[in-house]
Amino acid sequence: MNKQDEVLNKLKVIIDPDLGKDIVTLGFVKNLKISEGVVTFDLELTTPACPVKEQFRSDCKKVISELAWVKEVSLTMTSSKPSSALNKSGRGLATVKNIIAVASCKGGVGKSTTAVNIAYSLSQKGASVGIFDADIYGPSLATLVNAPFDGLFQKKDLIIPVEHINVKLMSFAYASANTGGGPAILRGPMVTQIINQLLTGTDWGELDYLVIDMPPGTGDIQLTLSQLIPITAAIIITTPQHLSFIDVKKGIQMFDQMKIPTIAVFENMSYFVCNSCNEKHEIFGSGSRKKLVEQFGIKNSFSMPLDQDISAFSDSGTPIVIAKPEGESAKEYSKVTDSIIREISKLNFANLPKPEVKFDNGNIYYKTDNGVENDIKPAILRRQCRCAHCINEITGEQILQQDDVEDSIIPNDIKPMGNYAVSINWSDGHSSIFPYELLNELVQ
């Protein structure tokens, strides 16, 4: 075996925990050179903000050093270039790798605050980042990030974004400050046109992530925007008092229509830690995260406390991840951000297997993402429905009786619901959402 192969063989034991394959098969190892016992190569990851970057670095050095002839390992961490899908969108977005839409069904739930803190957290982890405030009616980016601003400038036919602490920023508020105009009487189609012009007309340069603070709601404006912009993934922000599952479902469905996976649900202001007793108070009740996992299979659901510092720093224009990076809230934002990075890396490797569900020969055929396949009787699955009509959402007890479902029931329609669940419309007129996790249990 030649020395190159010896090195590659060693590196093959290092598995990417998210993609489930070794780093050689994934094509991460580039420019491998060996000279007089010195092994030099690049490890090209999907993102410079990879949460396991340092682990990869030390694992690579360790396994290669086990070869008796190796004197030194020189390893450079790099990351891949933008995908061709985004290149096609052209203009200012041509060199943007991933677009993350941060959406909420209602206003005032902390969508903009979350978008800004996630963006700065991505930047702190080494990624190049931009934030686009698409909320024309209530732009808040200029308040949340107190960037020095003395007007927008244009270079060739693109607008130069405002830049503050390594993050590029663009908002309708900056553009309207230039012209002195406001958004008061804009109608839907005009709004989407303005947003699209501003977004594609900004010179974003090479970005790993562009975070879009979407206008609140799941109506026409949001739908059109999702069609116009090549969004990689969506995050839905909600609060426990707003946590209506109908709303979360509407949000996921809207992105689904556009084939945009919802990769995380973020429950903001979900509890409060009292200064004097240090106790966690779940003012609006607990258990909503559990319901999110049970109903939509979204494991990436996070809770952020109601934290006076978050609002105080936001109001003063410094995101809390910058102002208090060691605080509990910044750590929670960092956790959310890591999970977003990992989910997007998985999406970028679109050849990862997906579960398959279809109605076939009187049964529901299900194949798990690791290839286990089996049939499930439709009535058995229908009786497992966990929707608010079928179980008591507070006690978790089953309301639906076994006899309520005829053995002859069949699905009329089966569609994926987000990345982690499937939605089924039944012949009895009922519709259910089943996380793949539940189907996995049924077939194994």
Task: Kindly list the residues in this chain that would bind ligand ADP in the complex (CB under 6 A).
Answer: 104, 107-113, 140, 268-269, 304, 306-307, 310-311, 314
CB of 326 to ligand ADP, least distance (A): 17
CB of 309 to ligand ADP, least distance (A): 8
Token pair of 42 as six digits: 């690049």
Q: Which residue has the tokens 């005009």?
A: 190
Closer of 110 and 411 to ligand ADP (Cβ): 110
CB of 330 to ligand ADP, least distance (A): 12
CB 213 within 8 A of CB 111: yes
**What is the SS3 string spanning the chain?**
CCHHHHHHHHHCCCECCCCCCECCCCCCEEEEEEECCEEEEEEEECCCCCCCHHHHHHHHHHHHHCCCCCCEEEEEEEECCCCHHHHCCCHHHCCEEEEEEEEECCCCCCHHHHHHHHHHHHHHCCCCEEEEECCCCCCCHHHHCCCCCCCCEEECCEEECEEECCEEEEEHHHHHHHHCCCCCCCCHHHHHHHHHHHHHCECCCCEEEEEEECCCCCCHHHHHHHHHCCCCEEEEEECCCCCCHHHHHHHHHHHHHCCCCEEEEEECCCCEECCCCCCEECCCCCCHHHHHHHHHCCCCEEECCCCHHHHHHHHCCCCHHHHCCCCHHHHHHHHHHHHHHHHHHHHHCCCCCCCEEEEECCEEEEECCCCCEEEECHHHHHCCCCCCCCECCCCCCECCCHHHCCCCCCEEEEEEECCCEEEEEECCCCEEEEEHHHHHHHHC
CB of 175 to ligand ADP, least distance (A): 19
Name the residue with the smallest CB distance to ligand ADP: 110
Distance (Å, whole) CA 102 – CA 264: 10
CB of 211 to ligand ADP, least distance (A): 13
Closer of 12 and 335 to ligand ADP (Cβ): 335
Closer of 312 and 352 to ligand ADP (Cβ): 312
Token pair of 66 as six digits: 């086990």
CB 411 within 8 A of CB 360: no
Closer of 129 and 417 to ligand ADP (Cβ): 129
Closer of 29 and 198 to ligand ADP (Cβ): 198
Closer of 133 and 208 to ligand ADP (Cβ): 133
CB of 96 to ligand ADP, least distance (A): 22
Closer of 50 and 269 to ligand ADP (Cβ): 269
CB of 165 to ligand ADP, least distance (A): 18
Closer of 304 and 421 to ligand ADP (Cβ): 304
Closer of 140 and 226 to ligand ADP (Cβ): 140
Closer of 263 and 306 to ligand ADP (Cβ): 306
Token pair of 132 as six digits: 């686009």
